Chains A and B, each alone.
Chain A
Amino acid sequence: MYAHPSRRSLLRASTMAGAAAVLSGCVTAGGDDPAPQATGAVTDDNPLGVPDGADLEVVIFNGGYGEEYTRHAVTLYEERHPDATVTHEGLQKVGEVLQPRFVSGEPPDVVDNSGAGRLDIAALAAAGQLTDLADLLDAPSLDDPAVPVRDLLLPGVVEDGTLDGTVRYLNYSYVVWGLWYSRSLFDRHGWSVPATWDDMLALCEDIKGAGIAPWTWQGKYPEYMMDPLQSLAAKAGGIELVHAIDNLEPDAWRHEAVLAAADAIHRLAAGGHFLEGSEGLSHTEAQNAWCSGRAAFIPCGSWIEGEQQDVTPEGFDMAMAAVPALTAADALPNGAVQGASSESFLVPAQARNPRGGLEYLRCLFSGEVARGFAESAKAMPVVRGATDGLDLAPGLASVAAALETAGDDVFGYKYRTWYPELAVEVDTATGELLAGRADPEQWADRIQAAADAVAADDSIAKHER
């Protein structure tokens, strides 16, 4: 092996003397002297052993869900630790602000690493920057000391946050993907939500007959249409197929269920079932076309209700339906939905007050904060039963119902977060498929080639599920 000179020494040599004093700061200085991390006495009131009077710094992504719920948890924390000074900061590009702080070994105590500018969480874990959250999961929950935090979480949440066998982060919001429609529109025309893809194609003809485009989609961002496609594939091919795709197995993308799903979506395009020009619409333009009744279905995640709330007409009554079954012999039951948790909360390993960070998360994952989240953010929290008895908006209520029906049959893909390079190629190919410039075979070949390239690239860290 060749020696690696530190960036510090090289940069000193390579920059002009006048600026050297300033520049020595621009190297990565982390690792040499971890901040002292205190632990306090563990008691029933303080199960995580938060040291007395230790301050806490919380940095969160202030996006679509707002910051009301994270502030709510601050209030709970302050009630329990009146001596601590808690600082809470909301950002929109978390990565750009926090990356250097991680590098220099001075991260905050809790981070909500979300949004478009988030840090690569797998890389953070690989660099040893994340605390193991096992202690938190085993700690008694705030609501009921007999129930540990682990048992409060919806299925998949702990798995979502597990990297190489260790729980590194916990997501807060549960997003479910499906097909959105207006209940009032469907009632007026006597349409019902199709159970299989054949029903869907038949219904599309009916809808067209009524002078409405059956579908529109957020063409500028093909990811939106990939969700129904990969949902169909998962339903037909089962969870093993999902894992094969995420594990970059050879020919996973050429599995017959994937090809059949691509063909099903391709038929929408070939049958002229999309609102004309959809492939050139931004997400807001497409969603507005749908809200104004020019198209019957639109694929989207459960955040759409919040995104559209100012322009949704009175009495529109939006609802989400699970993506129909692809065949009569699907591997997954009919109500299965694609779901994933998001809004990743983590505790940096080099935090000054990591025990406080865990304690903050214990407050955050309480029933009280979760109920507030459902109300203020109009989204599903990952805490069990948090929405019970709440008067939910129509869209969110339909999402909760869909989750109820699905039970444990909630599936999710990981390739998009694990291998963003692959996701870009998947989206490009899907755009071509929907524009009719590629057929399902070409689409699958192209993605398989990209997946094979990622699998063969040693410089990309691999994950396994």
Chain B
Amino acid sequence: MRHGKYRFLIGALAPPLLLYGVFVVSPYAQAFYLALTDWDGLSAEARLVGLANFTDLWGDPLFLAALRNNAFLLLAVPTATIALALFFAACLTLGGRRRRGVRGSGLYRIVYFFPQLLSVAILGVLFQFVYTPGNGLLNGLLDAVGLDALQRSWLADPATALPAVTAVMVWSAVGFYVVLFTAAMESVPADIVEAAVLDGAGNLTVFRRITLPLVWDSVQVAYVYLGILALDGFALVQIMTVGPGGPDNATEVIGLTLYRAAFTYGEFGYASAMGVTLFFITLTLTALALRATKRERVELA
């Protein structure tokens, strides 16, 4: 009955695995080798330099600034996005009559999702204009509501540049997670909520005791995705910021440092060492996240 199983398997698996091997696996493997060389991309031979690239990294102020900024993004973007998304999702589902959702919640969901449709380059170009000092939207808005004292050159001030980039990331991501969390919350059985309400539970209690634990899985998925997003940030920074990466390296991110090292300075070995470092950071964080997830599951059980 199952003639030619292996012939089918080979025919079916060979193309995707070849594609994957050539364009994904082999570059990753080469990166680890290149990170140990001083290859400049031009000479025929790459010289092995051992771990010199890695020791150099820890004395490179640009790379250290990038690490710091990515760490900030890693803390701020997922936290703010998830908090806002949970809040709006709760408003949408727990409000209204008998806590069945506010009127017009469908419309809100449509609108909230809009930013998800803008590619990151579009976001960068658009928000560059939003933040621009003279005739930008943000300063114009502050002026219109009488808060002109708050006007500033958002991207030119080290104190506000990175938060400004963070805000764009959060702005664009919230909608998707509102949709995600709303769907998860709607799958919470209505009778449980009703029973709690009959017992005199307020909105906040219902949210904390019933809704949140039941959507916790989705929150964790969200955290991992947003964490990966926050470790990048390259496109926004490269398009929007002063320098780019400035002012005073306030918005330098690892991706930008790596890109510049490779494609501006031709330090391909050094750039690969940054990539390898980024890989180990991602790996560590993922492992930590997975451990945290396990513990949460136990607590909930």
Seen from chain A, the residues whose Cβ lies within 8 Å of a Cβ on chain B are 2, 4-7, 10-11, 14-16, 18-19, 22-23, 26, 28-31, 95-96, 99, 102-103, 117, 119-120, 123-124, 127, 129, 219-222, 276-282, 285, 289, 420-421, 424, 427-428, 431-432, 435, 437, 459
Contacts and interface: CB of A to CB of B under 8 A. Distances in A.
B274 to A, nearest CB: 14
A277 B134 contact: yes
B242 A7 contact: no
A207 B271 CA distance: 48
Nearest to B47: A4
B44 A221 contact: no
Interface in B130-171: 131-134, 153-158
A435 B45 contact: no
A441 B253 CA distance: 28
A28 B45 contact: yes
8 contacts: A4-B48, A7-B46, A19-B18, A117-B263, A219-B242, A276-B134, A280-B132, A282-B128
Contacts of A280: 131-133, 153-156, 242
B130 to A, nearest CB: 12
Contacts of A22: 22
Given A31-B44, A279-B156, A421 B25 contact: no
B84 to A, nearest CB: 27
B266 A424 contact: no
Given A16-B25, A103-B41, A96 B263 contact: yes
B96 interface: no
A96 B38 CA distance: 19
B153 A14 contact: no
A5 B37 CA distance: 11
A415 B106 CA distance: 59
B52 to A, nearest CB: 8
Interface of B: 14, 17-18, 21-22, 25-26, 29-30, 33, 37-48, 62, 128, 131-134, 153-158, 241-243, 246-249, 260, 263-266
A459 B266 CA distance: 12
A211 B30 CA distance: 60
Given A15-B26, A15-B29, A280-B155, A431 B44 contact: no
Contacts of A15: 21, 25-26, 29-30
A105 to B, nearest CB: 8
A107 to B, nearest CB: 11
Given A219-B242, A281-B134, A7 B33 contact: yes
Max chain B CB contacts within 10 Å: which of A279, A280, A431, A432? A280
B246 A428 contact: yes
Nearest to A32: B44
A19 B22 contact: yes
A281 B132 contact: yes
Contacts of A10: 33
A28 B30 contact: no
B44 A2 contact: no
B264 A420 contact: yes
B149 to A, nearest CB: 14
Given A7-B46, A276-B134, 4 more contacts: A14-B33, A221-B243, A281-B132, A431-B247
Contact of A435 (B25, B40, B156): B156
Given A276-B133, A280-B153, A281-B134, A432 B248 contact: yes
Nearest to A96: B263
B62 A424 contact: yes
Contacts of A282: 128, 132
B40 A123 contact: yes
Nearest to B155: A280
A173 to B, nearest CB: 22
A18 B158 CA distance: 50
B41 to A, nearest CB: 6
Contact of A428 (B38, B249, B260, B266): B249
Contacts of A459: 38
Nearest to B14: A18
A428 B42 contact: no
A18 B21 contact: yes
Contacts of A23: 22, 26
